[in-house]
Structure 1
Amino acid sequence: MKTKFIVVGSGSMGRRRIRHALELTGGEVAVYDLRDDRMDEMSEKFDVTRLNGVADFQEFAPDAIFICVPPSDHEIYMEWAIEHGVHFMVEQPISDHPDNLASIRKRAKDKGLITHVSNNHRFSAETQALKGIIESGELGRIMSAIVERGEWLPDWHPYEPYTDYYPSKRSMGGGLDSICDVSWLRYLFGDVRRSVSLGSRRSNLDIDTDDIVQMVLDFETGPQVILHTDMLQRKYAGEVKLVFEKGTLTHSAPDPFISVYSIETDVWEKRALADNRDDLPSMKGKADFNFVEPMYVRDAAYFLDHLKRRDANTNSLDDGITNLDLVYRLVRGASG
């Protein structure tokens, strides 16, 4: 019998999760979105069942649900999943506020549900390469890092008005986007001991969120990290620099390699990333942007593997809650 999935939301992440569920499991997929135009497109693009409302969910009887709507609506579908005993994967941030998450965690655990909060960058070849070098000790102890992530907001989803996309509106959960980088930094370096953030708005974009957020994260047993995120740069910027006792490591997306400098050899070495991007589609409207796709596939595969093995540990759920607690406190407290 085929595994049955519902994908709620058919924006950029929903499209990916539909494809992942179909290609990785051969399962049966149903789709629900409030927008008829998106539903029409998904019905034409994929072999999916179209649902007309939440009332149709129970009749379809899913084994699991992918929640790919704006963060402000995540809890609606997590609550439905918990009530009906359905496993779920939810995109990050897990919610637009942390108030109800302890209750959601307890009830999901009590029902033995398999849960996953997306942590896409954790599964990138870049992050895994960084992890390997850190754990090998070849460059000694890591001391500091600088991370930059920036792109002009209208270019994030060029196929739709940027005002339709949640990062533009606090009411939809916008302004918490730095969580995508905080999540992989915590994966590499552990708990944050001290932190500070400053956000501001410098563009004329029609948004009520900050278009620049700067964070300083001081990890308990790791480096001090400067994290810069913005919605301003007209060409995507994804830069990482790690400074170690015995060298330096850098990566610039979409380069398929990292650069490693060793003080012992006084040489920069390029090391290829373990990615095969050739067969993966690029995001709609963004040619040559498929370098991000492998991490999304691995993220979904992580959830699907736990589903197959019936592994209901709460590690991912706990990480998602901790990430939101940290970013919510920093960003909502720093906005001005």
Structure 2
Amino acid sequence: MKFLIAGYGSIGRRHLRNLQALGEHDIVLYRSRRSTLPEDEIAGLPVETDLNAALAHQPDAVIVSNPTALHLDVAIPAAEKGCAILLEKPIAHDLSRLPLLRAAIQRGGARLLVGFQFRFHPTLRLAASLLAEGAIGRVTSVRAHWGEYLPGWHPWEDYRQGYAARTDLGGGVILTLCHPFDYLRWLLGDYSVDWATGGTLGLELEVEDSAEIGLRFLRGAAGTLHLDYLQRPPTHTLEVIGTEGTLRWNNAEASLGLFRAEANEWQIFQAPEGFERNWLFLDEMRHFLAVAR
């Protein structure tokens, strides 16, 4: 298979490394500007700065890893050509061009996956199994929390210039840290947003750095989701409360706690020995390769 990676920031670089680790080496890069990342690992790879020239290489699969506001500039023409597409989250910064994407997928016969890699987290997958079997009874309430200090993400660059901090590139904490919106739906079913509040509360940004969001699940549970660019140390957790127990997931520890009311004790489950964050992206890529083929 031939791959086109559109965007060579930190996530594009990760996808390149993972493709190569999985034995894929027929790769073309499309980048619109010079990256601050090292150039040595792309030596010898075709690099295009024009999208038409990049698509002229006739890739079988396209990985869209440029800034959010530019996603559909690549995804729509790639879909028209029938490519398999791995589209980094979120799909776009607004909904206006989603009908064009849908129509392009239908015309081209493309397949598209969105890069929500937390669906491949081993302890979240265990949580999904436990919820499916009713281990904590009927779910009544949910709390997801993700706070992470934005200037610490890429300390070698001005955080105010990155996509996560800029309106024109589709930034803001709600879009950038949108993984919980996806895994809550995966784990607990569909929901609606009852209320939301927040704003720019702690950093010099033109986008929101904090948000508190109230959710109502169709199965009856109430939920809250907290997101921020401010918290130190970083914290990413999930608590699900049911009529017969509680689940507590901690991303930093890759752990899942299960409290069964009948037993009146906690069980703690850990990710497999040697687990590290890139496993999620590798498993996501394996899944994409299976779909693309």
Common fold by TM > 0.5: yes
Q: Indicate yes or no: 2:281 matched with 1:296.
A: yes
2: CA distance, partners of 1:301 / 1:293: 12
The aligned counterpart of 2:191 is 192
Q: Indicate yes or no: 2:179 matched with 1:180.
A: yes
Alignment size in residue pairs: 291
Q: Indicate yes or no: 2:201 matched with 1:202.
A: yes
Match of 1:247 among 245, 248, 255: 245
The aligned counterpart of 1:305 is 290
Q: What SS does the corresponding residue of 1:160 show, helix, strand or coil?
A: coil
2: CA distance, partners of 1:275 / 1:189: 28
Q: What SS does the corresponding residue of 1:36 show, helix, strand or coil?
A: coil
Q: Deviations over 1:15-34 (max 9, x none)?
A: 11112222224231121223
**Superposition pairs for residues 27-66 of structure 1, below 5 Å?**
27-38=25-36, 41-44=38-41, 48-66=45-63
The aligned counterpart of 1:77 is 74
TM-score, with normalisation over the residues of structure 1? 0.81
Alpha-carbon shift at residue 47 of structure 1 (Å): 5.9
Range that drifts further, 41-50 or 298-307: 41-50
Report the CA distance shift for 1:139/1:55 in structure 2 as closer, same or farther (over 3 A). closer
TM-score, with normalisation over the residues of structure 2? 0.92
Please identify which structure carries the higher helix content.
1
Match of 1:104 among 86, 93, 101: 101
The aligned counterpart of 2:134 is 137
Residue type of the alignment partner of 1:80: P
Q: Is the 8 A contact 2:79 2:109 kept in 1?
A: no
Alpha-carbon shift at residue 131 of structure 1 (Å): 0.3
The aligned counterpart of 1:234 is 232
Residue type of the alignment partner of 1:61: Q
Q: Taking every aligned residue pair, what percent have the same amino acid on both sides?
A: 25
Q: Deviations over 1:27-49 (max 9, x none)?
A: 3112122333447x244367633
Q: What SS does the corresponding residue of 1:35 show, helix, strand or coil?
A: coil
Q: Indicate yes or no: 2:120 matched with 1:123.
A: yes
2: CA distance, partners of 1:251 / 1:223: 18
Q: Which runs of 5+ in 1 are unaligned?
A: 278-290, 309-336
Q: Is the 8 A contact 2:60 2:84 kept in 1?
A: yes
Report the CA distance shift for 1:254/1:77 in structure 2 as closer, same or farther (over 3 A). same
Alpha-carbon shift at residue 99 of structure 1 (Å): 0.9
RMSD between aligned alpha carbons? 2.0
Q: What SS does the corresponding residue of 2:146 show, helix, strand or coil?
A: strand
Q: Indicate yes or no: 2:154 matched with 1:169.
A: no
Report the CA distance shift for 1:38/1:88 in structure 2 as closer, same or farther (over 3 A). farther
Report the CA distance shift for 1:54/1:34 in structure 2 as closer, same or farther (over 3 A). same
Alpha-carbon shift at residue 274 of structure 1 (Å): 4.1
Q: Deviations over 1:68-91 (max 9, x none)?
A: 011110111012213433221111
Q: Which runs of 5+ in 2 are unaligned?
A: none
2: CA distance, partners of 1:47 / 1:19: 14
